[in-house]
Amino acid sequence: MLGLFIVPFNDAVAKALSTDLNIMEIIWSRFFGHFLFLVPLVYYLKGKHEFINKNTNQQIFRGLLIFGGTSFFFLSIKYIPLVNALCLYLIAPIIVVFFSSIILKEKISFLKIFCVTLGFAGTLLIIQPGLNGFDINSIYALLSGLCYAFYVMFTRKLNAVSDPFITLSFTAIPGAIIMTLLLPFYWEHVPSMNQVIAMISLGPIVIAAHFFIIKGYQYAEASSLAPIHYFEIASNVLISVIYFKDIPSILVSVGILCIISSGILINLKSLTTDK
């Protein structure tokens, strides 16, 4: 929940920057900042033999998944409202619950399915999507959710055999390398000092967020944590209240309660023995 509380600040900064900067520049700053602030330090502390091991190929694939998920999400929020994109992105917990039984061999209970459904219902109450036509750019958000779902499942899988700081490092490495190699082809602007500060802030924000998320998946099943991902929409609403004075309506408040309830229910169940 702490990691998911931090993530929307990253999204909000990216959304603000996208009004003036090429979205590719923002994606590069997110991954390169993450790389620059973390990877050299972890490599130095852990050493080559621990950093590069038999799980490296899986770590790279996992890094490519979060690179795809982040890139698609940043593309979506350039064209559609942040909360709308997040609603579509949050198909991820549903995918996690159903595919975790295949990939991770986790038990899928009725309660897990109910909690995911409750959380998604709460999300719909918050977003209150209209029926005025489907924006083609929303597909980016759907693809982001698909990538993120498999990212968290591979996070859970690798946590059993890898150091969390190495896993956190490989969250950045593929995206940083790809975007830096492509940098000459898409860089268009000379950012202002405020924009530079905002771009630099993306790295530490995502390091903190993904560290807490990785630690969560180190100790709990992916299908159990899936409903908690809906907490991200609640923190988005909180940001809107604090920074934009957008007070939630009664329906939105009910939606937030649904989201929080889904997380509480699944955690209460985790404290008991499955029958």
Query: What is the full per-residue pLDDT of the chain (275 aa) written as tens digits?
Result: 888 888 888 888 888 888 888 889 999 999 999 999 999 999 999 888 889 988 899 999 999 999 999 999 888 888 877 767 777 777 777 777 777 777 777 777 787 788 778 877 877 776 666 545 456 777 888 889 889 888 888 888 888 788 889 999 999 999 999 999 998 888 888 889 999 999 999 999 999 998 998 888 888 877 777 777 777 777 777 776 776 566 667 876 787 778 777 766 766 655 454 44
Report the sign of the C-alpha dihedral through residues 11, 148, 221, 270, in that order: positive
pLDDT at 170: 94
Nearest to 32 by CA among 190, 159, 182, 212: 182
SS3 content of the chain, % helix, strand, coil (to 5): 80, 0, 20
| Rounded-to-integer distance, Cα 221 and Cα 140, Å | 27
- pLDDT recorded at residue 103: 73
Contact 157, 65 (CB under 8 A): no
| Contact indicator for 217, 225 with CB cutoff of 8 Å | yes
Q: What is the pLDDT of residue 245?
A: 64
Domain region containing 9: 2-270
Contact 223, 108 (CB under 8 A): yes
Task: Report the alpha-carbon distance of residue 37 to residue 235 in Å, rounded.
Answer: 25
User: How many Å apart are CA 8 and CA 123, to the nearest integer?
Assistant: 15
Q: How many CB atoms lie within 10 A of CB 129?
A: 14
Task: Name the pTM for this structure.
Answer: 0.77
Q: Is the dihedral of CA 233, 234, 240, 242 positive or negative?
A: negative
Instruction: For residue 275, tell me if it sits in a domain.
Output: no
Residue 263 domain flag: yes
d(CA 169, CA 244): 34
Task: Specify the number of domains making up the chain.
Answer: 1
Please, are residues 70 and 205 in contact by the beta-carbon 8 Å criterion? no
Q: Assess if residue 189 is contained within a domain.
A: yes
> Is the dihedral angle over the CA atoms 264, 266, 271, 275 positive or is it negative?
positive
Identify the burial level of 242 via C-beta atoms within 10 angstroms of its C-beta, where 0-12 means exposed, 13-18 middle and 19 or more buried.
Answer: exposed
